[in-house]
Amino acid sequence: MQIVEAVVLGLVQGLTEFLPISSTAHLRVVPALLGWPDPGAAYSAAIQLGSVCAVITYFWKDLWSLLTGALSALKRKDMSAQDVRILGGILLGTLPICILGLALKKLLEQDDGPFRSFYVIGTASIVMGLLLLAAEFVGKRKRGLENIGAVDGLLVGLGQALALIPGCSRSGSTLTIALLLNMKREDAARFSFLLGLPAITLAGLLELKELIGSGLNSQDLMPLVVGLIFSTAVSYAAIAWLIKFLQTHSTTAFICYRVLFGIAVIALSANHLIK
């Protein structure tokens, strides 16, 4: 991989990981449009660690407060404390994607497998975009992050598991379920970011370990480092922008983009313009 490819992929990862438009879909489609080889699921997962760094940096105070508050409540055996409920929701919500991700790992990483198909990516983008539209109409947006419980975490976590299919979007699917659970948009986004932290970290570290184990040399390492740097910086900016945006706007712009993106991907693939 050339350095310029790593820069572009890092930018794409950073821009699309937390916006509800699917980073894995764009990391598959953008190289195809530019005539570059598919970076593969392993590289895509590894540079997601840049997005993990961005979440930890942006939410550092929130994470520290959550962890210390939960530990303090557990020492008091106060299982109903807000921090315990939020942390429990995150941990419980992480289980579905971890279990399914490990079970489907080989299938997900097949370069010519169904999960790398442009038709699957395009269809998933359209379907999940329409589901997000439905959530905007149905959701009452009355609940805040302080109301999150274990059941909410599990339900949103089941939505997160859909993101194993490129085009579904981890951010988009979790935001959809959270809105259906009547959460406010900005709080739904915050919970989506926090919920994704364990899953993205585990997946990225696992793929990084396998990349190193497969004989990653200094020539291969540089594009990975460059991708991580750009992914971190752009992810941080995207998080800050999205939270502020959702305080006063709906997700309509993302819904329109998802549908148009899905149609374009299917059309380009059908006409053999991307492969």
Per-residue pLDDT in tens (0 to 9) along the chain, 275 residues: 788 988 999 999 999 988 999 988 998 899 999 988 887 777 777 788 888 899 999 999 999 999 999 999 988 888 888 899 999 999 999 999 989 988 887 777 776 767 778 999 999 999 999 999 999 999 998 898 888 888 999 999 999 999 888 899 999 999 999 999 999 999 999 899 899 889 888 887 877 777 777 666 667 778 888 888 999 999 999 999 999 999 899 999 999 999 999 999 999 999 988 87
Say if 69 falls within a structural domain.
yes
Phi-psi region of 182 (alpha: psi -120 to 50; beta: other; left: phi over 0): left
Which has the closest alpha carbon to 205: 98, 86, 59, 110?
Answer: 98
Which has the closest alpha carbon to 121: 259, 267, 266?
Answer: 266
Are the C-beta atoms of 268 and 173 separated by less than 8 Å?
no
Exposure string of 107-144, with b = 16+ CB inside 10 Å and e = fewer, is ebbeeeeebbbbebbbbbbbbbbebbbebbeebebebe
- Interaxial angle between packed helices 170-180 and 150-161, expressed in degrees from 0 to 180 and rounded to the nearest 10: 140
* Rounded Cα–Cα distance for residues 189 and 212 (Å): 33
Exposure string of 14-34, with b = 16+ CB inside 10 Å and e = fewer, is bbbbbbbbbbbbbbbbbbbee
Q: Quote the pLDDT of residue 111.
A: 65
**Which residues 6+ apart lie within 8 Å of 35 measured at CB?**
none
Are the C-beta atoms of 118 and 266 separated by less than 8 Å?
yes
Total domain count, the chain: 1
Coil/strand/helix, residue 63: helix
| CA gyration radius, the chain | 18
Say if 101 falls within a structural domain.
yes
Range of the domain at 30: 3-270
Say if 135 falls within a structural domain.
yes
Q: Kindly list the distances between the CA atom of residue 39 and the CA atoms of 47, 171, 262, in Å, as whole numbers in the listed order.
A: 11, 21, 20
Which has the closest alpha carbon to 220: 87, 89, 28, 39?
Answer: 39
Say if 21 falls within a structural domain.
yes
Q: Report angle CA 22, 272, 10 to the nearest 5 degrees.
A: 35
Q: Quote the pLDDT of residue 218.
A: 67
Number of H helices, E strands in the chain: 12, 0
Say if 26 falls within a structural domain.
yes
Coil/strand/helix, residue 47: helix
Q: Quote the pLDDT of residue 105.
A: 76
Say if 275 falls within a structural domain.
no
Q: Quote the pLDDT of residue 38.
A: 81
* Full-model pTM: 0.88
Say if 204 falls within a structural domain.
yes
* Rounded Cα–Cα distance for residues 31 and 196 (Å): 25
Say if 176 falls within a structural domain.
yes
Dihedral of CA atoms 30, 36, 42, 47 in degrees, nearest 10, equals -60
Are the C-beta atoms of 93 and 153 separated by less than 8 Å?
yes
